[in-house]
Amino acid sequence: MMLYSSINTMKQCSLCLLRYPVTQIINLPYFNALECLAPNRLCFYCKALIYEKKEATLPALPQLQSIIHGGLYDINPLNNTHSALLQAFKYRRHILFGKILTASLVQHIMLQTLHKPRPDFLVIIPAHQQRLYERGFSQTRLIGQWLSSFLNIPLLPLLKRHGTPKTQAGLSKQDRLENIRDTFAVNTDIDLPDHAHIALIDDVLTTGATLTTAANAIEKVHPSTTLDAWTLLYRPLEA
């Protein structure tokens, strides 16, 4: 199997968009999850970011049927590349890093859903207006839009956020639950069909408090709904 193209041309990495000699571009014919970023080629740097992963034990959240994250699991403070990428995306608007992390999530979603149906709809965890004002954009909305485009799944504005909770960073699991209690409301203008299958989208899974609260809000209004969770990064609280 030929992995490299002719050395006489230059190619562009599908993710970082930088141009490299073709001997530095690797073809991935066995995996088409990034075909939407065509052509299906990545530089070695982006490939390493996407495919480097560690096994992680995800928290059990009874409200959610399954949880998929991008595999970027890191509890070693000496190796915080993935956390740094997310921080740069979330707080400094490095959109490219968000797209790289989302591409990793796309890979895992496609592998996890090879033999089972994908969700009917995607629903993002909405940011509070104060956070939108501070950051100037919603990282979860961008993630949701990319996933919707990549996977051809409609994105629904099903959840609304109210109140002004303090940041979840540094809080214990119980404090996180208290901090966001009754934070989410369901948009009743959305005509959601019975027995809909929804994937909740968030950037980080830590204790599951945010996802649990959002799932509870949806279940109260749409009890027949099946709920999954998709996140870019799993960062356990003890990290």
- pLDDT at 139 (0 to 100): 92
Same domain, 62 and 46: no
Same domain, 134 and 199: yes
Where a domain ends, among 51, 66, 92? 51
Residue 55, both tokens = 């096994």
82 lies in which domain range? 52-234
Where a domain ends, among 10, 31, 51? 51
Give residue-wise pLDDT tens across range 140-190: 999 999 999 999 999 999 999 876 555 655 556 566 556 666 788 999 999
CA 159/CA 190 separation, integer angstroms: 10
Show contacts of 14-18: CB within 8 Å, 24+ apart.
Answer: 14/38, 14/39, 14/40, 14/41, 14/42, 14/46, 15/42, 15/43, 15/46, 15/50, 15/96, 15/99, 15/100, 15/103, 16/43, 16/45, 16/46, 16/96, 16/100, 17/96, 18/43
DSSP 205: E
Residue 61 within a domain: yes
148 by Cβ neighbours in 10 Å (0-12 / 13-18 / 19+) ranks as middle
- Answer whether residue 134 shows pLDDT above 80: no
Residue 104 within a domain: yes
Most confident range, picked from 4-13, 20-29, 30-39, 184-193: 184-193
Residue 199 within a domain: yes
158 by Cβ neighbours in 10 Å (0-12 / 13-18 / 19+) ranks as buried
Same domain, 18 and 92: no
How many domains does one find in the chain? 2
Same domain, 56 and 11: no
Same domain, 70 and 184: yes
Q: Mean pLDDT, to the nearest integer, of 26-55?
A: 48
Residue 116 within a domain: yes
Q: Which has the higher per-residue pLDDT, 28 or 217?
A: 217
**12 and 18 Cβ atoms separated by less than 8 Å:** yes
User: Dihedral sign, CA of 38, 43, 44, 46?
Assistant: negative
- pLDDT at 236 (0 to 100): 75
Residue 38 within a domain: yes
Same domain, 70 and 151: yes
- pLDDT at 5 (0 to 100): 38
Residue 144 within a domain: yes
Give residue-wise pLDDT tens across range 63-84: 888 888 765 444 334 345 667 7
- pLDDT at 165 (0 to 100): 58
**211 and 183 Cβ atoms separated by less than 8 Å:** no
Same domain, 63 and 126: yes
Same domain, 166 and 208: yes
CA 144/CA 140 separation, integer angstroms: 6
Question: Hey, which residues does 66 pair with through a beta bridge?
Answer: 228
Assign 79 to helix, strand or coil. Answer: coil
Q: Which has the higher per-residue pLDDT, 135 or 232?
A: 232
Same domain, 37 and 123: no
Where a domain ends, among 27, 51, 75? 51
Return the beta strands (E) in the chain as ranges. Answer: 10-12, 19-21, 25-27, 41-43, 66-69, 121-124, 159-161, 184-186, 197-205, 226-234
Q: What is the CATH number of the domain that holds 104?
A: 3.40.50
Same domain, 26 and 94: no
Q: Which has the higher per-residue pLDDT, 12 or 62?
A: 62
Same domain, 147 and 79: yes
Residue 239 within a domain: no
Q: At what angle do helices 44-51 and 81-92 cross, to 10 degrees?
A: 100
Same domain, 36 and 75: no
The DSSP code sequence of 120-162 is SEEEE-PPPHHHHHHHSS-HHHHHHHHHHHHHT--B---EEE-
Residue 119 within a domain: yes
